Structures are given as C-alpha cells and as structure tokens.
Structure 1
C-alpha cells in the first residue's frame, strides 16, 4: 500500500468549523490512484467533496511546491463532480498556505476545463470559473413539485430557471425573505427525487435578495449524494448572472445561509466567466494508506 497526504479543509470560512468541508488528497505523479479507489475514499470520507490533486509539471521531489499546473478531480460520496468550487478553494489553500507554493497563479485541469486560482490578499483566494447563466424554464409538473418541496410552497410568483451546463435548478420566490430560506427544512421525498431524475437535475438552488448581503442562497443535491451542501462555489456561477440581471450590478457579497454558513465575494468577469473569492482553514493534516 502507498501512503498519500490528506487534508480536511473548511472552505469559505475564516475560522474552524464553518463553511464547507472538503478533503484534499495529494496524489503524486508517480503514484496514481485508480478511479474506483478515489470514489471509495470519497464515500469513506462522507463529506460533500473529496479532491484529488496531481502535478502536471516539475514532477519529482517537491513537485507540489514547484508546479503551477495540476490535474484536479472532485468526488462526492456517490459520483464524480463536473465542477466544485469549495474543494477547488480547499486544494489551492493547501498548495499555497500549507505547502508554500509561490506561483502567482495556479491552473487546474478539470472536467470543466482549466480553472485558475490566485492569491487575492487578506487571506482570500480568487477562483475563475465559467459562468453558467440559468434559463427560465417552462414549468413542468416535475419542476413545480421540486420547487414546492424545497421552497415549502409554489406560487404564481415563483421563478424557476435551469442552468445549461451544470443542470442546477434555481428557485426564486420574491415573497420569501432571506430569513425564510434560512429557516427551510426540505425533505426530499422519493417522488421529488424521481422528478429530479426525469428532469436531469443535479442540484437545486433556492435564493433570495439579502437583507445584509446582496443575495443569499441554499443548495440541495440529493441526486449527487449530498442532502444539503453547506457552501457551494459552483452554484455561484449560476447565481451571479441571475442576480446581475435583477440588481443591475456585476459584483456581489453573497452568503450561503446553511447551518454552517459561508461568505463569498462574487464578480462577473465580463468574458463569460465568474470570479468567486473566499477564505479557507485547514482543520486536519494526515496520511491515508491506499
């Protein structure tokens, strides 16, 4: 068996036990990990995402400190994810602040293309992702059922949109306040789960204009093995263009108001991309034998 360094990180948090947990595994270039083992380890960790990092250059001793380009893959407890913001933030936090990688910008080759992360000062990291502008949907019975479950009701004022790339469903009822969505406790029934499968939904965002932030949200993804994701960077690639149209601005201070809660700075970059910024804290450092 080979040993690999592993970290658990609270992403989109400035202190322990907030934000969203991710595990980060350092898979050296000469010790690859099989897909099945990655998935099994993610199930064992049983948190929203486990990220696997492998250097693509400067291989050999000290490669994690010297490389600027990495392969990055993310696994939920049940599936491989196409995009994960908080685990990308966690991976960059490990490279930059734990391993003292000094590059001014890191590049990650992922299922969503090449993503870049750079230090932004004040402990924050800027991540650049492709925008995934949601499109208002023709409301089917299945979408109406999902919206009513997550929001606690469905009304004629409810807006439902679906993002084309990630297949995130966005629910916005302007009569719900940010306090209302913070208090929601949806239970995904078998009927709701089946409705999401028929619509090929990967996750549901519920959002409201914020009383003390530009907007707030929560995110539920039982179709990926995650009942509720505490803070979801990828959801903000959908939320940023949605709220830009309604608030008439391109930079936002956002909060995902799950019980763990998390803070994000979000900006439309003007080139079809979204910059999501936040802090992270390493909680556990160890090794795993695979």
Structure 2
C-alpha cells in the first residue's frame, strides 16, 4: 500500500560549503557502511522472508539508486533526453523512470530519449508511464492542486473564474502545510459557499497534465475527492458562475480536467 503524502515542506536553504562538506561525509560513510549493511540485509531477508524478501529488498535499493541518478545526472539527462520545453529531471524525490514517463506524456523526449524509453519498454512494457510517481513533493514544475468531484445525474459541477473562458473543476491550492482535507474544505467554502462533510470525503485519484497559462513542461497535479456537502451552492470569491457539464463539454475545460472527464466517462459516472 502506498501512503499519500499530505504535507509538503520547502527545502531548507543550505550554504554551499555545508553542502560540499555533507556530500564528502556521505561518500565516506557510504563506502564504509553500505557494503556491510547490504550483506547483512541480504541474509536478514533470506532468513526472515526467503527469496521474496531478497527481491523486495533489492527493489527498494534499485528505486533509491534511481532517485540518486535522477539528481546526480540531471544536467546530462536534461541535455540529451528531453527538449528545452520538457519536464526537467532532478527532483530528489523522483526516479529517472518517473520523469521519463512525464516527458513521454508531454511528447518532449528527444530521439535519444525515445530510444532509452523503447529499451525500457522492451524489458518492462510501459515502464516509464507506469513509473510516474504522483506523490513526490511539488517543484516549480509541478503545481499541486486539490479538486472536489461532485456529480449529479451524470453531470459534473464545474466553475468559471472571472475573466476566464474555460471551466474548471472546483478546488485550488493548499496554503502552507495544510492537509488535503483542510485545503479542499477551505477552497470550496471560498468558491461556492458550501461546507464539505469531512466524513464523506472519498479519494478518487491523482491526475496530471500540462498546466494552462504556464510555460511548456509545467504540470498541474490534481488530487481529487468525492464528498457530500451542506448549504446552497453559490458562486463566490473569484468565481463568476458554476455550471453542470456533460462529457461532450470536455473541450471547454482545462487539460487536466479533460483527463478527469475521460476517466469518469470510462467509469460510467459522466455521460
């Protein structure tokens, strides 16, 4: 089971000298402790879980190495594998395969990047797409948002902000260290003047696409919840109006909302 992170904290600012010093110390410690720890880990898992335990242990190490490679090789990979408008490698919380999958979705892989992806697909079909990690901490290229999915008679509630032409599923960004639930309840209260019932919140999924009105390679990650509410729906704050949309209205919404529309339509919830 993968537990979703609900709190995102910004990186602490470190002086360059401290960063170099910590890097050297970590290299020394790794050279001494990793071989010993690895051997012990192999035997520990062998005697406690058998071959399955060794496989799980090795997979965790492989993922960690992949994350290290995403940071250590970011500049080289960004030059060779993706176009200048692609999603950048280098997030310390993400694997190389995950970032590769995001660029495959955005169609920003270079010929060499496509070649690497093809090789991985031969070993593991749809490897990079299946490796996309929606639970990594946001960066400048990932806009973290929450959305309330409310469906009535196979139509989905959507909103249009003042001065905009497109409709958006109601929700918004978290403030500070808000949890998903706190942020979503606040946003919906501000936008539609109703109170979501916390006990009815039901996680739907996480969806990702190119962010509207942002430079190419900037993604919006939408974490979606179903929920019941109390009160009467009213357009408030920056919201000009709220409407009920069908699946055929998909072209009137944002890129990430289109993906959500497709999913809901496939599940028979939106017609």
Q: TM-score range by the shorter chain?
A: under 0.3
TM-score, length basis structure 1: 0.22
Bigger proportion of residues as strand: 1
